[in-house]
């Protein structure tokens, strides 16, 4: 019996959260199922974009956090 893979299964595959057997089965399904393959490609591109995204907080936000920490005697650990 062939398992019907879901988008959730594809995401688990994308994040290497599948067993070796599942990985092989999903790879076969991606070859055969254009809808899941398209979803995989879109999610892979999205993950790559997010990994390359740089977010910089405004200095005023950083200053506010540091001031709050000083007032409440919180320690910052790097």
Q: Where are the domains of the chain?
A: 7-71
Residue 57's pLDDT is what? 87
Residue 41's pLDDT is what? 97
Segments in the chain below pLDDT 70: 1-2, 74-78
Q: What's the rounded Cα separation, in Å, for the pair 46 and 4?
A: 24
Residue 74's pLDDT is what? 64
Average pLDDT of every residue of the chain: 89
- The tens digit of pLDDT for each residue in 15-34 reads 999 999 999 999 999 999 99
Residue 3's pLDDT is what? 79
């Amino acid at each position: 019996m062939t398992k019907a893979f879901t988008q959730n299964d594809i995401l688990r595959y994308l994040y290497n959260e599948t067993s070796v057997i599942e990985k092989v089965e999903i790879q076969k399904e991606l070859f055969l199922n254009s809808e899941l393959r398209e979803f995989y490609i879109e999610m892979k591109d999205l993950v790559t974009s997010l990994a390359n995204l740089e977010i910089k907080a405004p200095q005023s936000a950083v200053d506010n956090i540091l001031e709050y920490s000083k007032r409440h005697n919180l320690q910052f650990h790097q």
